[in-house]
Amino acid sequence: MSRRVALLGLSGVGKTTLLNRLSDKLAFTHLEASRLIKAEQARRSVAAQSSEALRTGPVLDNQALLVAGFQHEARSIDGAIVFDGHSVIDGGNGLIEIPADVFAALELDAICILQAAPAEILLRRQGDSARLRPVRSEEALAEHQEKATKVARAIAEQLNVPFALLGNADETKLAALIRGTQQNRATG
């Protein structure tokens, strides 16, 4: 089975940007949670939902679609996989924790969470007109990031896989986790 690493973090933290930079140096397949859910909806002939509808709709129900979509895609991938997703979703009625069994079904080798200063996340969200995101203050984003980190760390502990706390400049640390050369249980 290919190496599987989850890169988690708030929407707008810079996961895709970090992975795009790293893809120039390391071979891996980037699987994004919302795209996996939408692809699985299409395979089941269910009308695909917008990212906003996925966030505010039946978040926990959508996790079954995510797992099925991930497993479908992973079957055809020989190399490393980086799953780009969330440990908490900023849903219509507050933060929703993604259960550990969702991550267990992905058969992960490591879990990372990407953090950035709340002011940076806020600026990125404001500058990205391609995605509809909830408007949150810096204080709320700080609280959300703290909760997301706590949940991700707990999931890694429950699954007994390495956990790493990353910043946007931690390409080398992420690359080591993808390669499997960083095996410590809790970093950062």
Residue 55 has pLDDT above 70, yes or no: no
Which pLDDT value is given to residue 104? 98
And the tokens for 142?
């700080």
Selected residue with higher pLDDT from 150 and 134: 150
What string of DSSP letters covers 154-169? HHHHHHT--EEEE-TT
Which pLDDT value is given to residue 54? 58
In sequence order, what are the beta bridge partners of 186?
163
Query: What's domain 4-31+81-187's architecture?
Result: 3-Layer(aba) Sandwich (3.40)
**What H or E segment, with its residue span, contains residue 118?**
helix 118-127
Report the alpha-carbon distance of residue 47 to residue 56 in Å, rounded.
Answer: 16
Which pLDDT value is given to residue 169? 87
Selected residue with higher pLDDT from 131 and 148: 148
Structure confidence by residue, pLDDT tens digits, 3-53: 999 999 999 999 999 999 999 999 999 999 999 998 988 888 776 666 655
Considering the entire predicted model, what is its pTM?
Answer: 0.90
Q: Where are the domains of the chain?
A: 4-31+81-187
Q: What is the mean pLDDT of residues 76-92?
A: 93
3-state secondary structure of 170: coil
Which pLDDT value is given to residue 8? 98
Which pLDDT value is given to residue 185? 43
Regarding beta strands 94-97 and 88-91, do their DSSP bridges make them parallel or antiparallel, or are they unpaired? Answer: antiparallel
Residue 161 has pLDDT above 70, yes or no: yes
Report the alpha-carbon distance of residue 31 to residue 18 in Å, rounded.
Answer: 14
Selected residue with higher pLDDT from 4 and 188: 4
Residue 188 has pLDDT above 60, yes or no: no
Structure confidence by residue, pLDDT tens digits, 88-133: 999 877 899 999 999 999 999 999 999 999 999 999 988 887 777 7
Which pLDDT value is given to residue 52? 59
Which pLDDT value is given to residue 111? 98
3-state secondary structure of 114: strand
Which pLDDT value is given to residue 133? 75
Nearest to 140 by CA among 85, 86, 90: 90
